[in-house]
Amino acid sequence: MEFERPLVKLLVSALKKRLPVFQALIGPRQVGKTTIARQVLKKLRLPSVYASADSPLPPGTEWLETQWRLAELELHKVRKPVVLVLDEIQKVRGWSESLKLLWDRARHEKKDIRLLILGSSALLLQEGLTESLAGRFFLNRCPHWSFRECSSAFGWDLKTWLYFGGYPGAAVFVNDEQQWKRYVTDSLIETVLARDVLQMQKITKPALLRHLFALSATFPAQILSYNKMLGQLQDAGNATTLAHYLKLLESAFLVSGLELFSKGQVRKRGSSPKLILWNNALINALSSRAFKEVFSDPSRWGRLVENAIGAHLCNGLSGTSYALTYWRDGDKEVDFVISRGASIWAVEVKSGRSGKMPGMEKFRSRYSGAKPLVIGETGISLEKFFSESPEAWLKE
């Protein structure tokens, strides 16, 4: 039986109704957005048109107009609502302005075309939606696969998920690590970097972007100053360029550079980012180490656990009103800080280290209202933490 992610039910419910907005589904490559769309179409049992703009040469608005015309012809033929699915729409040049005209015209002419657009670039899709299509869409986020989903779909235990990360297409290769590494590197990482990130904007130093990603995968869940990065990267440019490229990698759901927490004041510009990869597969596919070797190294395994917790928070809190940062003062550190308004949660990851938490103590003495959240050995078990959405742990 084919596995269904929770978004299928939500989208089916939305597209069954004639709403004044269309549905947008955004998320990383290779996490099943197209599969979700096809499952939705199968459940709806309505006439449909599906098209993808994912080609080496980005199509123009004539592609979009053609797909819309096909939906209109289907609508005229069957005399019932038609679902139009447009995949990787952010690749179409000038898509948002063209889509606005087509959507508004269909609404004015009372044509019941129920639209679902898919995209794998947060930057390009959200720019188009907010600039030209404000008030016309409902945004759905499709994150990387969680532990609970991989456990249900593939029968994985926690250690397997923590290492292999959870790209569904790569699951068939987990019994042959070399094949798995090649698949993730060639079919996922290279495709995202070449087709998504490099098409977002004009990248003056594409080699630097690739090296920055590789460096991030080498130092997961670690705080790395821009000066230190500059010392390790060839043709490195400056800190401003690196910060910009990190934002582009984040908009492709690859890497986030978490900022230093600072309450009640503007965060220190250029503060050293804490590198979090959104899926542990991105780390281990580029590493020469095998699963058994990584698992037997407490320090490396601890980094993977901490990165997975950061990735779980990034995936689950993206697009919400929560801010995710870290805190450090001298040698005292809090792994993650989550804030929303006046509410603050200090997150400490314990993966076999001593029970002392001097960073947590100092942070809470400075921010007295901060609520502690300890994950691992002396707190919430990893399996329990990863089995719930991040927001479940942040109730006031």
What is the mean pLDDT of each successive set of 10 residues along the chain, which is 396 residues long?
A: 90 96 93 96 96 86 96 92 95 91 96 94 75 89 96 95 94 95 94 79 83 95 92 77 91 94 64 95 95 93 96 93 94 95 94 74 93 91 95 88
For residue 28, give the nearest of 156, 141, 137, 127 by alpha carbon.
141
**Three-class DSSP category at 352:** coil
Q: Which domains does the chain have, with CATH numbers?
A: 6-141 (3.40.50.300), 147-393 (no CATH)
Measured between alpha carbons, how far is 321 from 319 in angstroms, rounded to an integer?
A: 7
Residue reference for tokens 């594409």? 206
Beta strand ranges found along the chain (DSSP E): 22-26, 48-52, 82-87, 113-119, 137-141, 222-223, 255-258, 274-277, 323-329, 332-340, 343-350, 371-376
Rg of the chain over Cα atoms, rounded to whole angstroms, equals 22
Measured between alpha carbons, how far is 169 from 274 in angstroms, rounded to an integer?
A: 29
- Tokens representing 49 are 């048109």
Q: Which residues have a Cβ under 8 Å from the Cβ of 191 and sit 6 or more positions away? A: 29
Contact 27, 142 (CB under 8 A): yes
Query: Tell me, what DSSP letter sits at residue 393?
Result: G
> Is the sign of the CA dihedral 386, 387, 393, 394 positive or negative?
positive
Q: pLDDT value at position 203?
A: 82
Contact 123, 251 (CB under 8 A): yes
Measured between alpha carbons, how far is 342 from 321 in angstroms, rounded to an integer?
A: 12
Residue reference for tokens 């600039």? 131
Measured between alpha carbons, how far is 312 from 298 in angstroms, rounded to an integer?
A: 21
Count helices and strands in the chain by DSSP H and E runs: 18, 12
Torsion angles phi and psi, residue 306, rounded to 5? -65, -40
Residue reference for tokens 């269904």? 4
Residue reference for tokens 């096909």? 70
In one-letter notation, the amino acid at residue 191 is: T
Contact 208, 233 (CB under 8 A): yes
